[in-house]
């Protein structure tokens, strides 16, 4: 008798999550923390099971393989202006807290289009 994915012994644990937002530098309104939906842990996994997204694919593949997912945070926002630095700092901080965790691999699901800095970046010459 074959075991279901939920009945299989844990083969590995992957640290996963991500940040997704389409940014446009021509939009003068910065995308702040309040515009992001932030979920974590088991809630992030369950809300994305079967979802037609990159993270949904990670969730479904891990479930089939018997891999446990550890989700520090999953940030998502609608398209808008550049993302505030404070949002990226909060995202990075949530992940840095896991750096000594008990996991076997990291899968970062990051979808970003456009400008991710609230100010113009200096042009590097000589390349």
* Domain layout of the chain by residue ranges: 12-113
What's the pLDDT at 117?
53
Q: Rounded to two decimals, what is the model's pTM? A: 0.74
The answer to whether residues 3 and 94 touch, using CB atoms and an 8 Å cutoff, is: no
Q: Which two tokens mark 5?
A: 């994915």
Give the integer Cα–Cα distance in Å for 9 and 81. 45
Closest Cα partner for 75 from 21, 26, 1?
21
What's the pLDDT at 122?
47
Stretches in the chain below the pLDDT threshold 70:
1, 3-6, 8, 10, 97-100, 111-127
What's the pLDDT at 123?
47
The answer to whether residues 11 and 51 touch, using CB atoms and an 8 Å cutoff, is: no
C-alpha dihedral over 26, 36, 17, 57, to 10 degrees?
-80
């Amino acid at each position: 008798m074959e075991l279901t994915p939920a009945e299989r012994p844990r083969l590995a644990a992957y640290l996963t999550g991500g940040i997704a937002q389409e940014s446009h530098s021509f939009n003068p309104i910065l995308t702040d923390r309040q515009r992001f939906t932030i979920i974590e842990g088991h809630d992030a996994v369950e809300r994305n099971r079967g979802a037609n997204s990159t993270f949904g694919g990670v969730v479904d593949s891990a479930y089939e393989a018997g891999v446990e997912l550890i989700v520090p945070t999953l940030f998502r926002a609608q398209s808008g202006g550049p993302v505030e630095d404070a949002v990226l700092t909060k995202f990075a901080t949530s992940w840095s807290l896991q750096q000594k965790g008990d996991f076997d691999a990291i899968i970062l699901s990051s979808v970003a289009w456009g400008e991710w800095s609230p100010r113009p970046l200096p042009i590097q010459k000589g390349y």
